[in-house]
Amino acid sequence: MRCKFCERPAFIKLHYPKMYLCEEHFKEYFERKVKRTIERYKLLRPDERILVVVSGGKDSAVTAYILKKLGYNIECLHINLGIGEYSEKSESYAKKQCEALGVPLHIVRVRELLGKGIGEVKTRRAVCSYCGLTKRYIFNKFAHDNGFNAVATGHNLDDEASFIFANLMNWNTQYLAKQGPLLPGEGKFVKKVKPLYELTEREVVAYALANGIKYMVEECPYARGATTLEYKAILNEMEEKRPGTKINFVKGFLRKKKLFEAELQEVELKECRICGMPAQGKKCSFCNFWGLEKPLEFNGRITPP
Ligand SMILES: [Zn+2]
Ligand SMILES: [Zn+2]
């Protein structure tokens, strides 16, 4: 098959809209889509300093690559979770990716910082749950302390669709009101953006391949068998039969998101007495979980490229 726009052989067949594209036209299509996402949802301004959270995986690597290509002022942050060999490998991929891009990479290692790695804490809380809490706190605090205007993450369309689907299946609708491509900054919460919001995982993989971006393929050992993967599989099956299922599901959700806002509980945020970040009680959930007595300080913790 040939490309829809030129004589070159097809590199990929897109299912929705249905078309064959050569490598060059696919890159163009992908970049245009990211640009449109940034404009449509007003994610970023040209003068902002952006911190891209890079895990070593494809989504965040592509996010950093494309924001840099579009001319944004980015630096990257890798959080080493302290999960044995998996984390060592992830860190080395993050380093290679940032070297190839020529952007500064900051590294925060959970075990060095907190004494234990993810998975080594004795707690009744699920590993993925406190891992998420820890990552979110660290990238927000790091961005806040070092004066970044936005934090960009690599969430793609499949991540978003499966998140919404899973939370609807369990009627955890309280999580849905704040879900979307943009979470505006507020006080000490730095703005969060997802530039790959409308691109499928398959498209992200193809874009990484087309640009020679190397990334970590292995999943986190704690994510194996996670139910999110089952929801993703179901959505992929539906997408196969009815192309456009995922994007229409997510866009429909954004139109109806107001319905879930009624579920937001009005909690008055105070300042954590340990770290000064927003907290519902006396301590924020991060300082509380890790039993901190003094705050983590990231101010000036900028590592050269
Ligand atoms: Zn072409
Ligand atoms: Zn705190």
**pLDDT tens sequence for the chain (305 residues):** 999 999 999 999 999 989 999 999 999 999 999 999 999 999 999 999 999 999 999 999 999 999 999 999 999 999 999 999 999 999 999 999 999 999 999 999 999 999 999 999 999 999 989 999 999 999 999 999 999 999 999 999 999 999 999 999 999 888 898 899 999 999 999 999 999 999 999 999 999 999 999 999 998 898 876 788 899 999 999 999 999 999 999 999 999 999 988 877 777 889 999 999 999 999 999 999 999 999 998 876 666 54
Report every protein residue that has its C-beta within 5 angstroms of ion ligand 1.
Answer: 3, 5-6, 8, 22, 25
Of the bound ligands, which one is closest to the alpha carbon of residue 295? 2
- Does 31-267 carry CATH code 3.40.50.620? yes
Cα 226 to the center of its chain, rounded Å: 18
Tell me if 218 sits within 8 A of 89, measured CB to CB: yes
What ligand has the least distance to the C-alpha of 3? 1
Which residues make up the environment of ion ligand 2, defined by Cβ < 5 Å?
272, 274-275, 284, 287
Tokens 């919001």, located at residue: 197
Q: How far is the CA of 144 from the centre of ligand 2 (A)?
A: 13
What's the one-letter identity of residue 178? K
Domain boundaries defined on the chain: 31-267
Q: Which residues pair with 18 in a beta bridge?
A: 15
Output the pTM of the full model: 0.95
DSSP β-ladder status, 191-193 and 182-183: antiparallel
